Amino acid sequence: MRFHTLDSWRGICALLVAVMHLPVLSHFYAEPFFRNSYLFVDFFFVLSGFVITFSYGGKIVDWRSAGTFMVRRIGRIWPLHMVMLFLFFDLELVKFVMNGWYGGAHQVPFTGETSPEALLTNTLLIHAAGIHDVNTWNKASWSISAEFVVYAGFALTLIAFRSRATLALALLAAVGAVVLLDFSPHYMDTQQEFGVLRCLFGFAVGHLVYRLYRHTAAGADGGPRFGTMVEAAALVLVAIFVSRAGRGPVTMFAPLLFGVVVYIFACADGFFTKLLSTRFFRRLGELSFSIYMIHLFGVEMLMKVANVMEKVTGWTIKAPHVPGGDQTEILVFGGLWAMDALTLVYLAIVVVISGVTYRMIEKPGQRLFNTGLLALQGQTEKGVRPLAH
């Protein structure tokens, strides 16, 4: 069984985050919905909690199965993460060599967010565990670092609490939400300081939603089935909430709302479910991780090209960000419609390149780790003592 509609949601969320990060003065840029699309990272966390519980909730029963789970998760996220980290390292190296002419160096290369220490923590996937004061290297990767930590916590919780694991996760989610509410300056808009707790909150909500789904689906009638009107209402509610949420305390409701939406689309069979189940959206879902991981490198390259063009031509291509924006600089050449076209071209390029990275990095990386895992398990079953950790 596979929840194709929920996979499609991943692709949509990844594209929305990509639009939010693109520093191009288009009709999209200043719209509150797109400026607040950082919240769709929380949709990722809720989806992860739902899908991971579905796939592994009944399989993690001891240290060996927990180890298998973690190796599979590392194989899913680490290969592409390392390729992107290598590309960002190369970009920083070019910046170091050409510093003073290349432009756009707001800090000394290989310091701060691109320090050697941050390179190590990124390699180990622990850079979102409160170690750094700033977001580092491939800034989108903070969320997979937070998920990696939460994956380990999830496995430990299942082993330690067994039948009471759901209650334990619910309590952990409540604690995480309280800490975010009391101590996070921008509530759910936190990455380095409280990123793991933010992820834990959303992941636990997704876990609880899956348990609810299983409970209701186990009924005699197979559980509730939602139609087009309920789906449409859910979409409208998400659009209104994200547009108005900003960075205030109301953002604390995001994982709960997204949990409701995940439940609805896990049970729905209306028009929007059928639409999200089409080949196009399912393909976006397949490419969602690549879209999310590569899009900021595309932004970096676009801004570096703009830096060079300004120096060579003397044209004004960039300007300080618009009031309320998140970028220090934004591309402003051409009219709004031209910038809209640039945004769409950028998204198309990201999707096309994601198809390549999915086929050449993600899938081979998964196969490599899975093959190694099977080989290790085969040795263990034959009585060969595994290497000590």
Cα(49)–Cα(289) distance, rounded to whole angstroms?
A: 16
Q: Which residue has the tokens 């080989």?
A: 375
How confident is the model at residue 334, as a pLDDT? 80
Amino acid identity of residue 141, one-letter, is S
Amino acid identity of residue 170, one-letter, is A
Cα(319)–Cα(333) distance, rounded to whole angstroms?
A: 9
Q: Which residue has the tokens 């039948």?
A: 163
Angle subtended at Cα 41 by Cα 36 and Cα 46, rounded to the nearest 5 degrees: 125
Quickly list DSSP for 267-294: HB-SHHHHHHTSHHHHHHHHHHHHHHHH
Backbone angles phi, psi at 325, to 5 degrees: -75, 170
Q: Which residues contact 24 (CB under 8 A, 6 or more apart)?
A: 330, 331, 339, 342, 343, 346
Contact 173, 201 (CB under 8 A): yes
Nearest to 140 by CA among 352, 343, 295, 329: 295
pLDDT (tens, 9 = 90+) of the chain, 389 residues, equals 668 899 999 999 999 999 999 999 888 888 999 999 999 999 999 999 999 999 999 999 999 999 999 999 999 999 999 999 999 999 889 888 876 555 445 678 888 899 999 999 999 999 999 899 889 999 999 999 999 999 999 999 999 999 899 999 999 989 999 999 999 999 999 998 899 999 999 999 999 999 999 998 866 566 788 999 999 999 999 999 999 999 999 999 999 999 999 999 999 899 999 999 999 999 999 999 999 999 999 999 998 888 888 888 888 888 876 555 555 788 888 888 989 999 999 999 999 999 999 999 999 999 999 888 777 776 554 544 443 33
| Total number of residues shown for the chain | 389
CA–CA distances in Å: residue 384 to residues 33, 69, 189, 376, 387:
56, 21, 48, 9, 9
Exposed / middle / buried, residue 286 (Cβ in 10 Å: 0-12, 13-18, 19+): buried
Domain ranges of the chain: 4-374
CA–CA distances in Å: residue 214 to residues 151, 207, 342, 365, 384:
21, 11, 44, 32, 39
Query: What predicted TM-score, i.e. pTM, was given to this entire model?
Result: 0.91
Structure tokens belonging to residue 105: 């160096």
How confident is the model at residue 329, as a pLDDT? 83
SS3 per residue for 329-352? EEECCCCHHHHHHHHHHHHHHHHH
How confident is the model at residue 384, as a pLDDT? 40
Query: What is the sign of the dihedral through the CA atoms of 342, 346, 347 and 349?
Result: positive
Contact 176, 201 (CB under 8 A): yes
How confident is the model at residue 239, as a pLDDT? 97
Cα(203)–Cα(116) distance, rounded to whole angstroms?
A: 30
Contact 9, 286 (CB under 8 A): no
| Mean pLDDT for the chain overall | 89
Angle subtended at Cα 20 by Cα 17 and Cα 22, rounded to the nearest 5 degrees: 110
